Amino acid sequence: MTRSPLSPTPRTTLGRSPDRATSDRTALDAVLDVGLTCHLGVLPTGHTAPMVLPTGYGRDGDTLYLHGSTGATSLRAAASGVPVCVTVTLVDGVVYARSVFHFSMNYRSAVVYGQAKAVTDPAAKSHGLRVITEHLAPGSWSHAREPNKKELAATSVLALDLTEASVKVRGGPPKDDEADVAAGVAWAGVLPLHQRWGQPEPCPLLPSDAEIPEHVTARPQPGIAKPAKEI
């Protein structure tokens, strides 16, 4: 199936630094697939300010799944059909410039707008939870116990279509004023930031000879995808 490019809507059109936008849908996939957490922004009915809360997620094709307690205010609000905004941010480095004005960050970030739908059909709900679990901890759905009826009933799963989304990427060195470059006033460059998995730390309640499964030991390190162009 051919997937549509990211076509900007009035609210997903970048106002600042529009050259940092990409219409390539695979760039959205890449940000969502490398990120571990998103921020869900929603204005619950009766609230006077938006709630923007960090949470986990998973992507299946053009659907983003979120989950949590059925009692969670943000999820209940999102499930009620009010507009939501979800962001995922990957920080790739801090950009040191010759003037503090031009300090920056290298990043890949995604913003998704839409209306989330509560997933209630048991098979679809289980699928959504599997997608989220496999995103956070690949190989775990078939390794750990699946949720039972009580756990499923206590969990809400939301599906958000990835139709209206934007991706913004900054890469490369600082953009200093020529006068500051010529004056050589300060060191300038990029200090990259790499997210790495560490050594697994077995639960103290495991038998001491319990083997660590391969889906944990051999988990690939998060990708440091370079932007297609230096922006």
Ligand X SMILES: Cc1cc2nc3c(=O)[nH]c(=O)nc-3n(C[C@H](O)[C@H](O)[C@H](O)COP(=O)(O)OP(=O)(O)OC[C@H]3O[C@@H](n4cnc5c(N)ncnc54)[C@H](O)[C@@H]3O)c2cc1C
> Rule CB under 6 A: which residues touch ligand X?
11-16, 89, 91, 105, 107, 109-111, 166-168
Measured from the CB of residue 54, what is the shortest distance to ligand X in angstroms? 14
C-beta of 31 vs 129, nearer to ligand X = 31
Instruction: Determine the residue with CB nearest ligand X.
Output: 15
CB of 133 or CB of 166, closer to ligand X:
166
Give the separation between CA 65 and CA 63, rounded to whole angstroms: 6
Smaller CB separation from ligand X, 65 or 107: 107
Q: Rounded CA gap, 177 and 175, in Å?
A: 7
- When the beta carbons of 97 and 110 are compared against ligand X, the nearer one is 110
Minimum Å gap between C-beta 84 and ligand X is 13
Contact 115, 83 (CB under 8 A): yes
- In whole angstroms, the minimum distance from the beta carbon of 26 to ligand X comes to 15
For residues 131 and 123, the answer to whether their CB atoms sit within 8 Å is no
Q: Least distance in Å: CB of 72 to ligand X?
A: 24
Instruction: Specify the amino acid at residue 23.
Output: S
- The nearer residue to ligand X, 12 or 126, going by C-beta atoms, is 12
Q: Least distance to ligand X from the beta carbon of 112, Å?
A: 8
